[in-house]
Chains A and B, each alone.
Chain A
Amino acid sequence: MKVRIDPEKCQGQGRCFSIAPGIFDFDDLGSGVVIGDGTLSDETMELARLAQANCPEHAIFIEE
């Protein structure tokens, strides 16, 4: 499973990189970015889902 952020939807609300700093980071404009290729382990999956559930813009996607 992989996580990605849709850059068209992301407005820099900042929830993902606060909740899951190991999975998400921010760029120079404060937009959320996925660290590496976004592959999730069993341990990181739960945090990624929590970040997804806190994104007001619904910009986080977790896919096969």
Chain B
Amino acid sequence: MTDIPLVQDFATDWDHSDPQWVADPYPIWEDLRQRCPVAHTDRYGGGWFPATHAGVSEIAKDTDNFTSRTVVIGNGRPGELDLPAPIGVAPPITSDPPFHAIARRLILPAFAPGPINALEPMIRELCAGLLDGSDGKDVVNAGTDYARYIPPGVIRGMLGFPEEDVELFLEFVHIILEGIDHPEEDRIIEFEPVEAYFVAQMEDHIANPRDDLTSYLLNVELEGQKLAMEHVFGTMVLILVAGIDTTWSAIGSAIWHLAHNPDDLARLVNEPDLMPVAIEEFLRFYAPVTMARLVKHDMEYMGCPMKEDDWILLGFPAANRDPIAFKDADRFIIDRAENRHVAFGLGIHRCAGSNLARLEMRIALEEFIKRYPRFELAEPDAVTWAPGQIRGPRNLPIRILR
């Protein structure tokens, strides 16, 4: 990685893994909006980055000219090795119309507000238990010891996998997250123990159906047929990949913000009803997720000569900071009443887990500030940010003030 040249001009050579972008991308995006609203790069085989809300919005909704068949930028052009649209590797996130709607309909009921809101007691218990583990410490790592464990704990509970397997489950999650972009032949070997465990859980659920996500996926029907075990496994992998780094990042960013903005922390402690509005501002200001698209065919688009299979980096976090779409876009306003942020995307690929992500964020923050009403960054310079398409703090040492 060390021999990759640093970016000199993000308008003509953007790179979302460049150290400057990883550390603080917001000034870069503001500069692009003013002088080059659709930036280009030859890196990764070639791609485009719209920096405005209007540009992001238009491309997100344009499934005629852009495909979702790959949503994570790889080292080169995807080429013919990639599975074709409209299904893709991990439906529905990698699917295009018309198949997309079928695959999405399958999972939406499990992530609708009804079943998700019922998870609140389980999530609260999980968060409180994690905080019990750090009780009495002066410095708590809110990234690696708290935020990181919440999404996998919640998903384990949703899937109905045994509580005593929590360590094993975390290890499998690690294998999946690390291995998802490895070459197919490596991934098959790495996933073997994971798949064996998941299949054993599925078989147990077939023998003993219960009210959880695993039983739901095993029983749901697509055109009158139940899903194959491989399809159920694939959907579980998607849920893990899409639901863990993302929500971990969102929770971590919110705690990071509160740790160096004591006025906002005090308001949340004193005005608990403000939390839902604050969550939306955390999502706008620190949107963790950037998705990719591919150009479907050669065309002139937004004045740019786009070629088939060029990448599009769809910066929802950049759209959220566009001053044309948001008043005082670069100010975090904890009680911002009007907030049309696009942290969960726009159009048909709106994050299917958005209701769950919001619930996890709310409970994680409520429990954290209930336990620790005053805290600060223990070592501001030690905070590290995840590179790439999911942005959030990883190492996040927090000093508890008493």
Tell me whether A56 and B108 are in contact (CB under 8 A): no
Expressed in whole angstroms, the Cα–Cα distance for A26 and B355 within the complex equals 12
CB distance from B1 to the nearest CB of A (A): 35
Expressed in whole angstroms, the Cα–Cα distance for A28 and B280 within the complex equals 23
CB distance from A59 to the nearest CB of B (A): 11
**A26: B residues at CB distance < 8 A:** 112-114
**B112: A residues at CB distance < 8 A:** 12, 26-30
CB distance from B222 to the nearest CB of A (A): 15
**B111: A residues at CB distance < 8 A:** 30
Tell me whether A29 and B340 are in contact (CB under 8 A): no
Q: Which of B105, B337, B341, B347 contacts A29 (CB 8 A)?
A: B105
CB-based nearest B residue for A12: B350
CB distance from B28 to the nearest CB of A (A): 24
Tell me whether A54 and B346 are in contact (CB under 8 A): no
Q: Which of B109, B337, B346, B358 contacts A11 (CB 8 A)?
A: B346
CB distance from A41 to the nearest CB of B (A): 20
Cβ of B348 < 8 Å from any Cβ of A? yes
Q: Which of A28-57 contact B (CB under 8 A)?
A: 28-30, 50, 53-57
**B105: A residues at CB distance < 8 A:** 29
One digit per residue, 1 when the CB lies within 8 angstroms of any chain B CB and 0 when it does not, for chain A 2-35 equals 0000000001111101100000001111100000
Q: Which of B113, B114, B340, B348 contacts A56 (CB 8 A)?
A: B340
CB distance from B100 to the nearest CB of A (A): 12
The SS class assigned to the A binding surface is loop
Tell me whether B109 and A29 are in contact (CB under 8 A): yes
Q: Which of B108, B280, B340 contacts A55 (CB 8 A)?
A: B340
Q: How large is the interface on A (under 10, 10 to 19, 20 to 34, 35 or more residues)?
A: 10 to 19
Q: Which of A13, A18, A54 contacts B350 (CB 8 A)?
A: A13
Q: How large is the interface on B (under 10, 10 to 19, 20 to 34, 35 or more residues)?
A: 20 to 34
**A11: B residues at CB distance < 8 A:** 346-348, 350
CB distance from A22 to the nearest CB of B (A): 15
Expressed in whole angstroms, the Cα–Cα distance for A15 and B276 within the complex equals 10
CB distance from A37 to the nearest CB of B (A): 22
CB-based nearest B residue for A28: B109
Tell me whether B337 and A50 are in contact (CB under 8 A): yes
Known: A29-B105, A50-B337. A14 touches B355 (CB 8 A): yes
Cβ of B339 < 8 Å from any Cβ of A? yes
Expressed in whole angstroms, the Cα–Cα distance for A11 and B355 within the complex equals 12
One digit per residue, 1 when the CB lies within 8 angstroms of any chain A CB and 0 when it does not, for chain B 98-128 equals 0000000100110111100000000000000
Tell me whether B342 and A56 are in contact (CB under 8 A): yes
Expressed in whole angstroms, the Cα–Cα distance for A11 and B344 within the complex equals 11
Q: Which of B110-153 contact A (CB under 8 A)?
A: 111-114
**A55: B residues at CB distance < 8 A:** 340
Expressed in whole angstroms, the Cα–Cα distance for A19 and B8 within the complex equals 44
**B338: A residues at CB distance < 8 A:** 50, 53-54
**A12: B residues at CB distance < 8 A:** 108, 112, 350, 354
CB-based nearest A residue for B104: A29
CB-based nearest B residue for A11: B350
CB-based nearest A residue for B113: A26
**B340: A residues at CB distance < 8 A:** 53-56
Give 5 closest A-B pairs by Cβ, nearest first. A30-B112, A11-B350, A53-B338, A29-B108, A56-B340
Q: Can you name 26 A-B pairs with beta carbons within 8 Å? A: A11-B346, A11-B347, A12-B108, A13-B354, A14-B354, A14-B355, A14-B358, A17-B113, A18-B276, A26-B112, A27-B112, A28-B109, A29-B109, A29-B112, A30-B108, A30-B109, A30-B112, A30-B113, A50-B337, A53-B338, A54-B280, A54-B338, A55-B340, A56-B340, A56-B342, A56-B346
- Contacts A26-B113, A53-B340, A57-B346 given; 15 further ones with Cβ under 8 A? A11-B346, A12-B354, A14-B358, A18-B276, A26-B114, A27-B112, A30-B111, A30-B113, A30-B355, A50-B337, A54-B338, A55-B340, A56-B341, A56-B342, A56-B346
